[in-house]
Amino acid sequence: MSATSVSSQLARLLSRSARLATPATARMSARASARHISTTRAVARSAAGLRVNNTVAPVSGLARQYSSKSYPDHQLVGMPALSPTMTQGNVGQWQKSVGDKIEPGDVLVEIETDKAQMDFEFQEEGYLAKILAPTGTKDLKIDTPVAIIVENEADVAAFADFSLDQAGSPASAPAPASSPAPVESAKAAAAPAAPAQTFQTAAEGDRIFASPLAKTLAREKGIDLAQVSGSGPRGRIVKSDIEGFAASKAAATSTAASAKSVETASAPAPAAKKAAAAPAPAASAGFTDTPVTNMRKVIASRLTEAKSTIPHYYLTQNIKMDNVNKLRQSLNTAANGAYKLSVNDFVIKAAASALRDVPDVNSSWQGEFIRQHHHADIAVAAATPAGLITPIVKTCDAKGLRAISSDVRDLVARARANKLKPEEFQGGSFTISNLGMYGITSFSAIINPPHAAILSVGSTEPQLVIDPTAEKGFKSVDVMSVQLSADHRVVDGAT
């Protein structure tokens, strides 16, 4: 069987999946379109905001400059938003030391985002005067100050004892009249006392924007969405916001009950309760607690949401690989070491050809509309020390086997070194997860939203099949098992 035959089998598999689901509506209302455009612009502004600009409101990662009676003019560098979904980050290794000169484009510090560990490149000249968040600092919210930059090297020494409390918060510093920063600061200051003020972005008037899962959870828990602050794009309420609100509400109730109990308890009781609140693990404890990284938190959240909100269904097919293996061996021999094709390279190319033949599967669920992609941008699941990540091989339908193989090797290597750019692991139109190299014959993969499907690839195993032309009436063939997990909301079985 040739690589073309593999592509044909995958195309039929995708076509079958397209016939099994109920047709999904692909209309998009004018309001949804406008909201999508606004969201896109907001993301673009967030990315562009990495440059310092003293005439606009601060955004994630922006250095904010102001004067102080105690200190020379300086810039506070905030925790940058290095991905659209990032809400907090961990500080990795600082690449600059106090007193070092910084040129535009220099890597200031490594930041662990919700996706990977990435370099934060500063875009202005200056000198690093103070590191406010040392290596290892965890869970810093976006815009939390992490460093101070000054223009003159002579001003560095003045910040040896710098304190944000003594110098004053940047939010309280004066700003140009054209800057909307005071409005943003006022919103930030009012957020703890009045969550509805922060939620106004999500509501945009009287309408509240929340994910379907968040709405369902809110109904189940009896929570008024108007009281919840959204942490999603443009203030959209997501599942974690509902869970956090419910947890804080439960904690408040528990605290009140505990306070009442303490008033009636004997004197030693509070001390005993305090000791029980944070037990120290015994030296002989039979377990080890490992702190959860930002990446692991995102993996847990996305997979839980995918499995609980996406109606999965599964299709399995066995593919004869004898001809593909012979072709692969022939091409690798002819390459004379210039490249080495893997079985996964053939699978990616076959899937790309199948997606071109069945474009309805090359789609993504967008909530109020279905987006059909014009190219097969295939995400390839790769294991890293920090967790699973899916770098994207772009336009696989227009590439040959050698180009695909080269791209996969480069992306996976940089993923394991935490050197991927956001655009290299966000988006895509289809996912492939291959565990065949680990001896796994078959498995059911969880869909990677917003993709409509994921192909799980097992190992190639020898099997006996009937062959009337053989002397013994049967022969051994190499068979690879693949399984397609499809989203019933997007993929119609009759396509």
Q: Tell me, what's the pLDDT at 393?
A: 96
Average pLDDT rounded to a whole number, residues 382-397: 89
Q: Tell me, what's the pLDDT at 230?
A: 80
Residue 182 pLDDT > 50, yes or no?
no
Residue 55 pLDDT > 50, yes or no?
no
Average pLDDT rounded to a whole number, residues 350-371: 93
Longest Cα–Cα distance of the chain, Å, equals 96
Residue 86 pLDDT > 50, yes or no?
yes
Q: Tell me, what's the pLDDT at 281?
A: 55
Residue 23 pLDDT > 60, yes or no?
no
Enter the tokens of residue 161. 């004892």
Q: How confident is the model at residue 14 (pLDDT cuts 50, 70, 90)?
A: low
Write out pLDDT tens, residues 301-339.
Answer: 889 999 999 999 999 999 999 999 999 999 999 999 899
Q: Tell me, what's the pLDDT at 253?
A: 62
- Mapped to the 3 state alphabet, what secondary structure does the chain carry? CCHHHHHHHHHHHHHHHHHHCCCCCCCCCHHHHHHHHHHHHHHHHHHHCCCCCCCCCCCCCCEEEECCCCCCCEEEEECCCCCCCCCEEEEEEECCCCCCEECCCCEEEEEECCCCEEEEECCCCEEEEEECCCCCCCCEECCCEEEEEECCHHHHHHHCCCCHHHHCCHHHCCCCCCCCHHHHHHHHHHCCCCHHHHHHHHHCCCCCCECHHHHHHHHHHCCCHHHCCCCCHHHCECHHHHHHHHHHHHHHHHHHHHHHHHHHCCCHHHHHHHHHHCCCCCCCCCCCCCCCCHHHHHHHHHHHHHHHHCCEEEEEEEEECHHHHHHHHHHHHHHCCCCCCCHHHHHHHHHHHHHHHCHHHCEEECCCCEEECCCCCEEECEEECCEEECCEECCHHHCCHHHHHHHHHHHHHHHHCCCCCHHHCCCCCEEEEECHHHCCCCCCCCCCCCECEEEEEEEEEEEEEECCCCCCCEEEEEEEEEEEEEECCCCCECC
Q: How many CB atoms are located within 10 Å of the residue 491 CB?
A: 29
CB–CB of 195/228 below 8 Å? yes
Q: Which residue has better confidence, 362 or 189?
A: 362
Q: Tell me, what's the pLDDT at 41?
A: 41
- Work out the mean pLDDT of the chain and round it to a whole number: 76
Q: How confident is the model at residue 194 (pLDDT cuts 50, 70, 90)?
A: very low
Q: Which residue has better confidence, 350 or 70?
A: 350
Q: Distance (Å, rounded) from C-alpha 196 to C-alpha 48?
A: 28
- Quick one: CA dihedral 290, 293, 297, 303, positive or negative? negative
Residue 71 pLDDT > 50, yes or no?
yes
Q: Which residue has better confidence, 266 or 306?
A: 306
pTM value is 0.53
Q: Tell me, what's the pLDDT at 60?
A: 45
Q: How confident is the model at residue 61 (pLDDT cuts 50, 70, 90)?
A: low
Q: Tell me, what's the pLDDT at 372?
A: 95
Q: How confident is the model at residue 241 (pLDDT cuts 50, 70, 90)?
A: confident
Q: How confident is the model at residue 37 (pLDDT cuts 50, 70, 90)?
A: very low
At 63, which amino acid appears? Answer: A
Of 17-26, 78-87, 119-128, 472-481, least confident by mean pLDDT is: 17-26
Residues taking part in catalysis: 488, 492
Residue 278 pLDDT > 90, yes or no?
no
Q: Which residue has better confidence, 163 or 467?
A: 467
Q: Tell me, what's the pLDDT at 410?
A: 95
For the stretch 181-184, contacts whose Cβ atoms lie closer than 8 Å and that sit 24 or more positions apart, written own/partner, are 181/56, 181/57, 181/58, 183/57, 184/57, 184/58
Q: Tell me, what's the pLDDT at 284?
A: 58
